[in-house]
Structure 1
Amino acid sequence: MSNNSRRTAIIGGMRTPFVKAGGPFRHLDPLKLSSHAVRGLLERFALDPQKVERLVWGRVIHDPRISNLAREIVFDLKLPARIHADLVSNNCITGIHALVAVADAIAAGHCEVGLAGGVESMSNTPLLFGREATRIFTDAALTKALGDRLKILTQLRPRHFKPQALGVKEPSTGLSMGEHAEISAKHWQIARREQDEIALRSHQRAAAATRDGRLKAEIFPLDGLDHDTLVRGDTSLDKLAKLPPVFDRGASGTITAGNASALTDGASALLLMSEERAAKEGLKVLAFVKAVEFAAIDPGDGLLMAPAVAVPRLLRRTGLTLEQMDIVEMHEAFGAQVACNLKAWEQGWQEEAIGRVDPEKLNPLGSSIAVGHPFGATGTRIVTTLANEMARRDARYGLVSICAAGAMAAALILERP
């Protein structure tokens, strides 16, 4: 992408407020949240839907009743039926995959105007029957004779009707993301206080950016809400220190509900255009996509440590340095994960050291711990926040770093002329 003369311009993004799962958006399914974000984007930039050629949408928690959510957004909003719309999914870097799919299409000349984004409704995750019950119901459904069907259904017992929530453990390791983060925190010797300090800074900065309107500027109000509800500007180190650890409940546990991102409902959409088309439409460009890097490592090396590989590789490939990045947006799955990757960048790990991040450059508007983390929406939310802040500061370069389950990561550089 960085060597292609056809640059992808970021015009802007819009999103729903991000709210705690089980809260004010629990009655809104992923389609409603998604359509709201896309509608807000079209209204904010007064974009004629007839000009949209591509829509790529992301979702992590799948609903088998809607296999291609992206296409349903097109129908729900009565957008032109000719719009090619497809769904992508890769844990917390899903939104970056959506962005890259549209950017690649623009770079290749397949389209000039595209929408990328994602959603998660953790309030509406599917509940599943166990494997035994599923087998009985499936066998019954595939049997034509009523008598045979009833005979199969007599195998059902009360235990079969107990629903199973989606699992949170990594299939490859049997451990949750939080348990993996605890392992990394111990390996990298990241103290509880350092994690709480990261969380406090995230809340304080997000609160300030909400008060001064910077975060509200990217939100399309929904159901009377015009702000993110997870932000706690009044928290303190003392309050955070009183919270019990949730993954390692022993004396050595460090990760709490206060220094980890919460389960969140929300959707985020991003408007991308070719540089030439943006000029033709008379739209201001916030930034251009310069380069993207994806990386994957062995989960045993640290499930959330792939940014320590992705970012150094990206900088080396572009010939840029960490010091040249005016703003660094690092996804905050956990305060521990942020601290571990920062330490790996500074000391070197599986790649050469790239240096220390100036704390003033890191997540200046807060990030996922305070703002929230709807898995499929986080990537485009972070890019929107970064591009807007780069334009405000007239910054030259901005860096995005996002870890993901499965021991993967995405890194992205935005640039302004």
Structure 2
Amino acid sequence: MIGNAIAWIAYGSYWSTPFVRWQGAFAELHSLRFATWTGRQALEKRNVDLSAIDFGVLGFTVPQQGSFYGLPWVMGELGAPHVAGPSVMQACATSARAVTLAAQEVADGSARAALVITCDRVSNGPHIYYPAPSAPGGTGRSENWILDNFARDPFAQVAMVETAENVAARWGIDRAEQDDVVLMRAAQYADALADDHAFHRRFMDLPFAVPDPAFRKVMRHIDGDIGVQPADPGKLRALHPVREGGTVTYGGQTHPADGNAGIIVATRDRARALARTPDIEVAILGVGQARVEPAFMPAAPVPATQRALDRAGVTMAQIDAVKSHNPFAVNDIVFARETGFPLEKMNNFGCSLVWGHPQGPTGLRAIIELIEELAMRGGGRGLYQGCAAGDSAMAVVIEVSG
């Protein structure tokens, strides 16, 4: 089956920062410049020759000063000014879309090795003013990029938490079941912290050096993710729902965060040449996208998954591991019910419900963790799936061998 790959991922030639709850240690770092800070050191540590890279994709969802220049700016700062490519913004599906674009560029022969960089700083989001000189008094409109868009989908006319409540109501998902999933996911994340973060160290350079906002010196070192809430069953079950009469609490959803991640997608031979362990191969078998009816976002990964499976030529029964971007516990519950994949087999070693959601890089960290989980098992097929704003979702099927 692995011979039917669209493209390949260079095993080990990827990385992620720890994720830090918003307004924390990364809150004043320009996200694109921070991505180059991280990427430069990660590529050097992994002995990646940038002359081998001939395409790039940048994914982010929160504008930063100068981000108009996007991917070319990042590649220039990384030391690869010969590399061009697009900048992608597809809400929480940004990582999956960026990987898909890179794979398609490789598949059609336009590139041999693509560097995908994803980043976001949800902290201190921009406040944008839209001029309207012909309006009464010349007064325009303003937007808080983060908080206003969390609070209202301009098409569905609901806050994101309401999409979770709609799914909970339709599928009969009660509060107790959501709490049970949160506690399960917290226990799985604890496995990644064992033996001094042994799992995270497979792709995360720890302790992680945090630069100053000018990127001139290291201000401090952190040992891993910051802002993950400890799993306290009593406190979790005592929380009140966010919406009166609802079921979703703040404990049953993820928290905004900051961070970045990178990965190399390439032809088979180039992936082997750039891999840290050439004997391990990672194939991208299929991708899928879907959109469901308005205000039912957490259900969208189900049809996106089926499309990815169909394109990969496999069934759910042939998938060994699943990683989800699960901004709400209801995401995993509806997915398990509709696909039959056991809840307890999903999201080993953690997920965005626990370690947070920097938006652009969230899915890429999940894909990287999926690769490492499969490598630890000696190989197998994996599925990444996650919903995105606008009641949409993307899914990616991979296979690890060797």
The TM-score, its normalising length taken from structure 1, stands at 0.84
How big is the shift at 1:6? 6.4
**DSSP 3-state at the match of 1:244:** coil
- Residue-pair matches, total: 380
**Is it true that 1:236 corresponds to 2:232 in the alignment?**
yes
One of 217, 222, 227 as aligned partner of 2:209: 222
**Which SS does the other structure have where 1:34 is aligned?**
helix
Letter in 2 for 1:266: G
- Aligned-partner Cα distance in 1 for 2:100–2:173: 33
> CA separation in 2, counterparts of 1:123 and 1:170?
20
8 A contact 1:11–1:273 mirrored in 2: no
Residue 330 (str. 1) matches residue 321 (str. 2): no
Secondary structure of 1:68 counterpart:
helix
For 1:123 and 1:5, how far apart are their aligned partners in 2? 38
State whether residues 286 and 390 of structure 1, in contact with CA within 8 Å, keep that contact through their aligned partners in structure 2.
Answer: no
Question: Counterparts of 2:170 and 2:273 in 1: how far apart (Å)?
Answer: 53
Is 2:175 aligned against 1:192? yes
SS in 2 for 1:9: strand
Question: CA distance change for structure 1 residues 173 and 162 in 2, over 3 Å: closer, same or farther?
Answer: closer
1:255 alignment counterpart? 248
Q: Once structures 1 and 2 are overlaid, which stretch shifts more, 12-21 or 28-37?
A: 28-37
Residue identity in the other structure for 1:235? A
Structure 2 regions of 5+ residues with no counterpart? 211-220
In 1, the alpha carbon distance for the partners of 2:183 and 2:118 equals 27
Counterparts of residues 118-197 of structure 1 (less than 5 Å):
118-129=118-129, 131=130, 134-136=131-133, 164-166=143-145, 167-168=148-149, 169-197=152-180
Q: Which sits farther off after the overlay, 166-175 or 261-270?
A: 166-175
Answering whether residue 192 of structure 2 is matched by residue 209 of structure 1, we say yes
Q: Distance in 1 between matches of 2:85 and 2:337?
A: 40
Contact 1:57 1:95 in 2 (8 A): no
Q: After superposition, where does 1:7-406 map in structure 2 within 5 Å?
A: 7-12=7-12, 13-63=14-64, 65-77=66-78, 79-129=79-129, 131=130, 134-136=131-133, 164-166=143-145, 167-168=148-149, 169-212=152-195, 213-220=198-205, 221-223=208-210, 224-232=221-229, 234-246=230-242, 248=243, 250=244, 252-281=245-274, 283=276, 284=278, 285-300=280-295, 302-345=296-339, 356-406=340-390
Aligned residue for 1:271, secondary structure, equals strand
What is the aligned-residue identity percentage? 27
SS in 1 for 2:223: coil
Q: Which amino acid aligns with 2:334?
A: C
Task: Tell me, in whole angstroms, the C-alpha distance in 2 between the residues paired with 1:258 and 1:53.
Answer: 43
TM-score w.r.t. length of structure 2: 0.87
Cα distance between partner residues in 1 of 2:47 and 2:170: 50
Distance 1:380 1:210 in 2: 19
List per-residue Cα deviations over 1:326-370 (Å, max 9, x = no partner): 11111111002221232222xxxxxxxxxx213342100110011
Whether contact under 8 Å (2:333, 2:343) holds in the other structure is no
CA spacing shift, 1:97–1:37, aligned 2, 3 Å: farther
Question: Which structure dedicates a bigger proportion of its chain to strand?
Answer: 2
3-state SS, counterpart of residue 110 of structure 1: coil
For 2:35 and 2:48, the matched residues in 1 are separated by 17
**Structure whose alpha-carbon radius of gyration is higher:** 1
- Cα RMSD after superposing both structures: 2.5
User: Partners in 1 of 2:312 and 2:66 — Cα distance?
Assistant: 42
